[in-house]
Amino acid sequence: RTWLVLDGPLDPALLESVSAPPPLHILDSDPVLASPLAMQVIFETDQLAAVSPAMASSLAVTFLDTHRGPTWKDRAIAWAHQLSLSCPEYTSLMVLIRELLVHLMDSILAFVLYYFHAAPRDDSSSIVASAEGDVANLDYRHQTTCFLSFFTTLLMDPVIEGHLFAAAAADVEGEIEKQVRLLIGMSSISSFGSCLFTHQRPRFERYIRERVLHPTHGSSLPPLYDLYFDSKTGTFQAVNEIVRLTEPIMGGQSICVATEEFVAFQLRLRRLLAIDAPVLLAGTAGSGKSTLLRYLLGSPSPSIQFVLFRTNAASKVTHLQAAMLRQLHLQHGGNFWAPSSGKRVVLLIDDLHMSGHSLTGGA
């Protein structure tokens, strides 16, 4: 079956051409096009003023509200489908992952909406306060996007990937579900739970332990908000444990030994990078901003390729371009530059205090 997608204003002549029996006539083109017999047409437009009543009655019209759009469930199912297409090795696991995602996200969003967020009324624009006070309207689109970004980062980590495939090969009953529940729970803490006030987080964490995690993890893990994934051990560790595993940073004549605060900052920064959030590090001279960037630059990541650009008063946009091109490769026959397969580029700029010129070349 062939699908023809037309995106733009609906022209009456175009409508008549594509709705007529084959062969396909596109306006005044010559010769005519031989259209497939099993061709389906999808029109995407923002208005129907040019559509005749007869044409409109023959179409199956779907209206997408700009304030609603695809639901969180649509996004989750589309994500699972796309991942199966791009990574066929996950196909056997995706049925269980998709079912757990839809089931658990439904309950998590309902819990967050009821207890922590304001809910708009159906009959007016007024707001119904949540059970624990009015915080904000729940942005399903942003929250779901953040969650899926965190979840994908964890799921595609080589260590976690190895654990999942090993569990699938061993065919241990419930082991895959146990691990997937842990990934969903920790992704929820980093996305849905990150926007909550401090006094609200214990209740959300208790819900994740009791309703999302496997009982083994729910009763044994340390405080969830203090946990970060450690790629060296393949487990979720508290900051004070990761500090012991963090290697000193060697630079010139200096050696930087990471403290608990330093490790916590870089782990929080990684969480923001995982959802493509722009980050601005602000601090006085000597507070460790450049050291933090150098640490990220030297840390291997399965999904991120870092580019460090050190600026000064003479920096120009050509210098920035050269710094990025050194980390990129020509793809698809030399048509465009891109990072290594499966990675995305994160640009680290040290720093934005530039006198005289901007990166765009202006004064």
Q: For position 181, what pLDDT does the model report?
A: 95
Helix (H, G, I), strand (E, B) or coil at 257: coil
Tokens at 62, concatenated: 């779907």
Q: For position 254, what pLDDT does the model report?
A: 60
Q: For position 124, what pLDDT does the model report?
A: 44
CB neighbourhood size of 1 (10 A): 7
The 10s digit of each residue's pLDDT in 92-135 is 889 899 999 999 998 998 888 888 765 444 444 444 445 555 44
**Strands 235-238 and 227-230, how do they pair?**
antiparallel
What is the C-alpha to C-alpha distance for residues 3 and 15, in angstroms, rounded to an integer? 15
Is there a contact between 234 and 221 (Cβ–Cβ < 8 Å)? no
What is the C-alpha to C-alpha distance for residues 239 and 80, in angstroms, rounded to an integer? 31
**Neighbouring residues of 135: CB distance < 8 A, sequence distance ≥ 6:** 116, 117, 118, 196, 197, 200
pLDDT, block means (10 residues), the chain with 363 residues: 80 70 54 61 80 76 66 85 86 90 90 71 45 55 81 84 87 86 92 82 93 93 83 73 59 61 71 72 76 73 76 80 81 73 78 54 43
The secondary structure of residue 238, as a DSSP letter, is: E
What is the C-alpha to C-alpha distance for residues 254 and 128, in angstroms, rounded to an integer? 56
Q: For position 265, what pLDDT does the model report?
A: 73
Q: For position 209, what pLDDT does the model report?
A: 95
Q: For position 129, what pLDDT does the model report?
A: 47
The pTM of the whole model exceeds 0.95: no
What is the C-alpha to C-alpha distance for residues 148 and 184, in angstroms, rounded to an integer? 9
The 10s digit of each residue's pLDDT in 180-214 is 999 999 999 888 887 788 888 899 999 999 999 99
DSSP string, 83-145: HHHH-GGGHHHHHHHHHHHHHHHHHHHHHHHHHHSBEE-SSSS-EE--TT----B--HHHHHH
Q: Is the dihedral of CA 233, 234, 240, 245 positive or negative?
A: positive
Q: For position 137, what pLDDT does the model report?
A: 55
